[in-house]
Structure 1
């Protein structure tokens, strides 16, 4: 299954290298990709968001400002960056490990622990990723992330 491959070869090693891993984080990142793009789109249809996690350029810029104050995180992020310095937002389109790291760092800055269960993660995604003004819904997250219930890691 593609989700299992993503977990094993992209998400888990990226999160572990960042020191931001664990089962809940893995499932939240995979759930985010499933609801945001279905892991089928590299650019938002009719919008500015980029990559499989659909990160908007303004959000990316905000994350870069955060990273300016966190050289410890930048050092852990460095292996996933192609080229020198912090890359342009376009790297989210073609660099899957970097995009995964940016998605995780986005959540890392948010308060509260990531819930262990899918329903809790759906609410967490809506509050901290899609936001109150976003068109996404908790129900849509649960529908899209259903494949994770087969592969939820203990």
Structure 2
């Protein structure tokens, strides 16, 4: 199960292009955040998430946040279409299943809408992920985030 994962270099290029459009965040760590999210959720495509009702694609994106993002990001639709070549109004949740670019894009849009700055350190990002992505109801922990990123994370500088 690879969820559309090709290789680390492609993921870094996709994340950079997405963040060049939407923003790298106050601390310049948005690329790390969305890549680390893919790592913790699926081992960057190396592990199938067998959780019942699991999210979609490389970042295991849930359907309710997906629908919310579509509603709340329509003001950015033209910019995203022009700079990223994606008309988010035409994207369906299932499209994220095998498309790493869309999975990373929607993860970035979710974090962007949160309003809280993406933290500088991986330890802080682990807690941020738990709060904003995995949520209180999710089984993931900041410790799991750190373990997965140590084991499956991209070794090249992001």
**TM-score per shorter chain, which class?**
0.7 to 0.9
Q: 2:18 aligns with which of 9, 14, 20?
A: 14
CA contact (8 A) 2:35 2:104 kept: no
- Does 2:31 match 1:60? no
Indicate which of 63, 75, 80 corresponds to 1:77. 80
Alignment of 1:94-109 (within 5 A): 94-109=98-113
Q: Is the 8 A contact 1:126 1:137 kept in 2?
A: yes
1:39 equivalent among 44, 58, 66: 44
Structure 2 portions without partners, runs of 5+? 1-6
Q: Which moved more, 1:27-36 or 1:87-96?
A: 87-96
Q: Indicate how the Cα distance of structure 1 residues 138 and 110 shifts in structure 2: closer, same or farther if over 3 A, else same.
A: same
Following TM superposition, the consecutive aligned residue runs of length 4 or more in structure 1 with deviations greater than 6 angstroms are none
Residue ranges of structure 1 left out of the alignment (5+ in a row): none
Asked if structure 2 preserves the Cα contact closer than 8 Å seen for 1:3 and 1:30, the reply is no
Q: 1:42 to 1:151 in 2, by over 3 A?
A: closer
How far off its partner does 1:115 sit?
A: 0.7
- How far the C-alpha of 1:127 sits from its partner, in A, is 0.4
Aligned residues between the structures: 147
Residues 57, 103 of structure 2: 8 Å contact kept? yes
TM-score (norm 1): 0.82
What per-residue deviation string (whole Å, max 9, x for no partner) do you get for residues 33-57 of structure 1?
Answer: 0001112269742224101000111
> Partners of 1:42 and 1:100 in 2: how far apart?
17
Instruction: Give me the TM-score of the superposition, normalised by structure 2.
Output: 0.80
Deviation at 1:15, TM superposition (A): 1.6
**Which residue of structure 2 aligns with residue 112 of structure 1?**
116
Determine the C-alpha separation between the residues in 2 that align with 1:118 and 1:135.
19
